[in-house]
Structure 1
Amino acid sequence: MKSSINYKIIFFLFIVLPFNIFAQFLYKKIDEWLLPAIDKKAEIRKVRSSLFIKAKDLTDYLPKNFSKKGDVNYTKYLQKGIDNNKKIILPDFPVMIDFGGLRLSSNSEVLFQENSKLLLQPNSEELYGMIYMEGVENVKVYFANLVGDRDRHQGDKGEWGMGFFIRNSKNIKIYNPIISKMWGDGIYIGNLNNPSEKIEINFAVIDNNRRNGISIVAGENIFVKNSLIANTNGTIPQSGIDIEPNKPDDFIKNIFLENIITYNNADSGLIFALDNLQGNKLDRVKIDINRFKDYYSNKGIDFYVDRGYNKFLEPLKGAISIRNIQLFNNKFPIRNSYSTKSNIQIGFQNININNKKINTNNLDTFVQKIKNGEEQILK
């Protein structure tokens, strides 16, 4: 995993990214009107009374005289409770965990209470996960609150410190998480021998992570809805949502993004980087984007269809539908980078930039340039 990602980092650093990306990043506070409109306190009560009546409160697994300040590592105590119970409730106060994270099992459900929060103990690891879902199915997590260690990380290497680390898992639902300050990504969805399937993320708030808000690397039937991803900055790609396979046997099929807001991400609100998907099975791309907004990111939507990492004769196939888009205050609202030719079918509908609707002729020209591999900026 690391070697393939390292190659892409070098390419991005010296060939692709404009120099202005490395200018001083300015964090923007998220305005209240951008946040998902839900009554979290009431919803937690409702979920607990209906779905977690017989659940185990993991406070019972903590040692005597435990701290409620989030300053003591209680990873092993929480993990024991997770291993012994299928329905669990996190303590109603901050708890520190280490870089080994917590590993969820199949057919389990997790509830974070109003004051529940997992704080990552500062470490020097290049790769970590606060909550791992690897090789599991039928897992639900409600109201997670995860805070990473980017402000106090003890090393300067790596970029793979994740909030949720999801690989080779299916039937996963994550509802209304708050994820911030990861050394890498807020949520990573990928491959571990097999891609992930049927992953649903709803009403997420993902802020100030270092690499990406959400990385979709390999999966089928992935749904991200009603979510806000903001202030991603620190190491490339620095994108709100990055759809980017690692290798030829990954696939990106039935990826649905609906009612998404990306805000002030250092590079892109949304990036398509499909280069590494080339291989014998070329028709493995199906992506649907509906009701997407970006504010203040350097680029609203960015395309890197195929920069020629892999030398295959057949152009990459698939379909990307992008409709009902609103982009505001971007230096490059929609950009296509230089690429090899592709047979990706891209459909644009109702695209608005700074409250101005882009006409059909301009959209058709942009689509043709993507197919031809020509660099272009749509403003």
Structure 2
Amino acid sequence: MTNSKAELLNIKKRFNDQCDSLARYIDLMENITDLPKWSRIQYVIDILKKYHLFTDSCEEEKYEDMLTNDPGKLMSFFKNCSQDLNDKISHFEGLLNLAKESRVLEKNENNEMNDAMDESIMQYIRFGFYDEKNSIEEIQELQDYFDNENKALLLAQNKLNKEYVEDYNKKINEEKFILLKNTFVCEILEYNLSILQEIVRDLERFDVLVKVNDEENVLNVYRQGFILLIAGFDASIFDMIKVLLTNKFFEYIANFNKEGKIKLQDMSNYNNFENLRDEIIISALRGKYIKDLLEILKKLDVQHVNEHYSNLIECVKRRNIHLHNQGKVDAQYLENCNIFGFTEGKIAKIDSDYLVDVFELCDDTIESIYNWINVKI
């Protein structure tokens, strides 16, 4: 096998490897970008309602139906409360910063008081406000707690066992109790913040997943796969044409640049014919697009290009409108290739079925061009 034939084969193998990697990427994305289950969305809605951040009064069945049939609309409900959610988080962060400015009790690496007595008393205080196993259900009670800071001390004192207080009265003085209260305030604020920050992460992920699954969105996985596929297809054809022209320069260069001229004086700048030839090839291909090369290959009667020319041009033009016009059909797309009957302004979606067809079309075309050039060189 000559070096040129080996180079041509490597270009074909490179494209095949790109297709295999791209197919695996799409398969992976299909498996990890499923929309969340209704139970998780229901949890998010419940939390937002408990913090008075989700005010829409639709029945839950309606939201569940949106998740299946119109997730974008469901996301719009969440976006309507996103600013209030961020404001609530900022509010809690401000309270937490203020609380930390007060004196609080130090904790060890296990998040317990350094002093066993203090930790024991804290347990009484914690149990007075919430059960960690069911804390979500008592969010509103904790919200009420922030309305009256002194309520913390009063409620905690009421929750403490009277006998326990009397036994350790000297140690549980008012100053110590204020320290315990401040420490508990930080715990509650951190707890609330962790819940709301978790909801923010849920909504951010849901927003991305909605876009990835939306065939009209620029983040759609099939759209991204399609653009990458045509980019590899484009590069492979250009590289194959360069191999053809390098080996059969005089036979084919006129097909790619009929009006190209070079001055004799300029020819003297090159040390040998190979350098001159390479410069002419670069000049001939400069400014040409993939559709130009496909048109030339069609005229050269490359079988698969000739038979599927309209579909190939449609793929290229669809790639262009997705790169430059958010997938909306324009006048340039409609010119000579509207095989799907689109109207101007309509989005030319990239779905799974279309992408599978394009994979096959591009693979067969590269194979056909490879075989044609391989015979010529």
Q: Considering fraction of residues, name the structure with more strand.
A: 1
The TM-score bracket by the shorter chain reads under 0.3
TM-score under structure 2 normalisation?
0.17
Compare relative contact order (CA 8 Å, sep 6+) and give the higher one, 1 or 2.
2
TM-score under structure 1 normalisation?
0.17
